């Protein structure tokens, strides 16, 4: 974690400078498993000796939900002055006592995993609660929470680069700082899959420790379809805290729109009545997506999470999933005419040469289909004979809900006469026979 500490020193030296008499509140944010708590612990352990009073309140979110805020206030007061009698009967009394006891003392306080403004207001409400030179460090998954509380500096915990990720994974998988001989390629595959997430590197490294090459290969194949549940459990907490509409946006991005232009995605999702401007901002604040060059990006493991949430809707019956994005599953569903009203979106990547026959019956029950995207490689279709898409001449789209239709290489000369386009906001039929 020295990399993170170095970055923090560059971003806000006032946090590191022990001679500064300013009271400084620092927020560390990022999605689950990215290393926020580890960074806070590194800072706490490195600088604790320079403060009169120190306190590290771990798992604030979990403790406040299970026990309430009052026990956390009592824990803080006990850390401050363990020999004093700290009788408080409610949160307001706790606030007054914390302010009275700390306002002239140089304090290092860490509030780990905060998820509600009430937690901050009860434990570290304002700068004047603390004596000169105090440092308050808050970790959270919600950047907006830190902004509302007007923190002095914000630091985003980011994923590790390939070298750092390989080293962390190797310590857990091989008990050394580099992969064992014959495991280099497999290790690179795991590191690529985890995409710099420290939690994933530790969990998978420990899981694969001592296993054979064939067992590693088997587990890697499994993870592509069924992600590690220990990692998923940590990541899913942020998803569970979204409201219903925000969850729909998250799943649509995970299944269809990763890497797409934000304005383009907003236009389509607004047409689905998802209030996309607000929802995309919330997902960004909670670090479930990032916006770079006006494109929406989702970490690979979060994308796997979204697709696994869809799969878990009906694990044994993909005909009832809300979204389809695995090519082999889509082929299975379409050729067996398993489509249902549950389908809201389909992303069918046919860039790998394949033959498939799609009929009206394949789509007849998909009455709630909002998004249909069929991708193929134009060069492969013009240069190779082993790729074929066949549609019946009477092919129809039964859905009245289509907002987005993207079908490169559409093989018919006409759209169906019954095609309903009143609510369509995006139509892309390049390289087709229209």
Annotated domain spans of the chain? 2-156, 162-225, 236-298, 313-434
Tokens of 161: 């680069």
Q: For residue 426, what are the β-bridge partners?
A: 404
Find all residues with CB under 8 Å of 338, minimum gap 6, and list them.
318, 319, 332
The 10 Å Cβ neighbour count of residue 230 is 15
Buried b vs exposed e over 186-202: b needs ≥16 C-beta within 10 Å? bbeebbebbbbbbbbbb
SS (H, E, C) 228-261: CHHHHHHHHHHHHCCCHHHHHHHHHHHHHHCCCE
Residue 52 has what pLDDT?
A: 85
Q: What is the mean pLDDT of the chain?
A: 88
**Please, is 150 exposed, middle or buried when counting C-beta atoms within 10 Å of its C-beta (0-12, 13-18, 19+)?**
exposed
What phi and psi, each to the nearest 5 degrees, are found at residue 107?
-120, 140
Is the confidence at residue 317, as pLDDT, over 50? yes
The closest alpha carbon to 250, from 294, 202, 286, 213, belongs to 286
Is the confidence at residue 360, as pLDDT, over 80? no
Which numeric CATH code is attached to 2-156? 3.40.50.300
What phi and psi, each to the nearest 5 degrees, are found at residue 237?
-55, -40
Contact call for residues 108 and 48 (beta carbons, < 8 A): yes
Q: Is the dihedral of CA 272, 278, 284, 288 positive or negative?
A: negative
Is the confidence at residue 241, as pLDDT, over 50? yes
Residue 381 has what pLDDT?
A: 44
The Cα angle at residue 40 between residues 37 and 44, in degrees rounded to 5: 135
What phi and psi, each to the nearest 5 degrees, are found at residue 88?
-135, 140
CA distances 15 to 370, 391, 405, Å, are 49, 64, 51
Read off the pLDDT band of 40 (50, 70, 90).
Answer: very high
DSSP H or E run through 407: strand 404-407
The closest alpha carbon to 373, from 349, 357, 395, belongs to 349
Q: Can you tell me which residue has the tokens 């999933």?
A: 321
What's the predicted TM-score (pTM) here?
A: 0.89
| Separation between Cα atoms, residue 313 and residue 318, nearest integer Å | 9
pLDDT single digits (tens) 380-429: 444 334 445 677 777 877 778 999 999 888 888 888 888 888 899 999 99
Q: Where are the beta strands (DSSP E) in 300-400?
A: 323-324, 345-349, 355-358, 371-375, 388-391
| Separation between Cα atoms, residue 329 and residue 347, nearest integer Å | 11
Tokens of 231: 């990692």
Percent helix, strand, coil in the chain, to 5, is 45, 15, 40
Residue 340 has what pLDDT?
A: 87
The side-by-side arrangement of strands in the sheet containing 345-349 is 323-324, 345-349, 371-375, 404-407, 426-428
The closest alpha carbon to 324, from 363, 282, 288, belongs to 363
Contact call for residues 102 and 129 (beta carbons, < 8 A): yes
pLDDT single digits (tens) 97-152: 999 989 989 999 999 999 999 999 999 999 999 999 999 999 999 999 999 999 99
Q: For residue 391, what are the β-bridge partners?
A: 358
pLDDT single digits (tens) 247-290: 999 999 999 999 999 999 999 999 999 999 999 999 999 999 99
Residue 86 has what pLDDT?
A: 65
């Amino acid at each position: 974690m020295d990399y993170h500490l170095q970055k923090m020193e560059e971003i806000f030296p006032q946090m590191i400078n022990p001679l500064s008499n300013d009271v400084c509140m620092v927020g560390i944010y990022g999605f689950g498993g990215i290393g926020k708590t580890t960074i806070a612990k590194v800072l706490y352990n490195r600088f604790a000796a320079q403060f009169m009073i120190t306190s590290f309140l771990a798992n604030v979110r979990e403790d406040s939900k299970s026990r309430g805020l009052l026990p956390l206030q009592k824990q803080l007061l006990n850390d401050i002055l363990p020999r004093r009698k700290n009788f408080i009967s409610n949160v307001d009394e706790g606030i007054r006592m914390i302010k009275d006891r700390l306002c002239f003392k140089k304090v290092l306080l860490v509030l780990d995993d905060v998820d509600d403004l009430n937690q901050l207001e009860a434990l570290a409400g304002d700068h004047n609660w603390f004596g000169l030179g105090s440092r308050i460090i808050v970790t959270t998954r919600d950047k907006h929470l830190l902004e509302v509380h007007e923190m002095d500096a914000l630091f985003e915990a980011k994923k590790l680069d390939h070298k750092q990720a390989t080293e962390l994974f190797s310590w857990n998988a091989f008990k050394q700082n580099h992969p064992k001989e014959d495991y280099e390629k497999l290790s690179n595959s795991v590191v690529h899959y985890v995409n710099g997430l420290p939690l994933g590197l530790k969990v998978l490294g420990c899981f694969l420790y001592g296993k054979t090459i064939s067992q590693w290969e088997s587990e890697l194949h499994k993870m592509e379809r069924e992600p590690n549940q220990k990692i998923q459990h940590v990541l899913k907490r942020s998803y569970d805290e979204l409201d219903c509409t925000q969850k729909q946006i998250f799943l649509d991005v995970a299944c269809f729109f990763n890497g797409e232009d934000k304005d383009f995605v907003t236009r389509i999702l607004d047409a689905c009545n998802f209030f996309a401007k607000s929802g995309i901002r919330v997902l960004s604040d909670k670090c479930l997506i990032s916006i770079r060059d006006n494109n929406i990006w989702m970490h690979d493991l979060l994308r796997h999470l979204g697709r696994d949430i869809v799969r878990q809707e009906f694990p044994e019956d993909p005909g009832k999933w809300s979204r389809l994005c695995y090519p082999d599953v889509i082929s299975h569903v379409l050729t067996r005419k398993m489509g249902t009203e549950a389908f809201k979106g389909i992303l069918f990547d046919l860039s790998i040469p394949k033959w498939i026959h799609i009929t009206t019956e394949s789509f007849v029950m998909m009455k709630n289909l909002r998004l249909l995207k069929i991708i193929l490689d134009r060069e492969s279709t013009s240069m190779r004979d082993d790729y074929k898409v066949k549609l019946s001449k009477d092919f129809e789209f039964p859905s009245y809900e289509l907002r987005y239709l993207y079908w490169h290489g559409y093989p018919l000369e006409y759209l169906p006469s019954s095609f309903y386009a009143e609510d369509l906001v995006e139509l892309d039929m390049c390289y087709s026979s229209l």
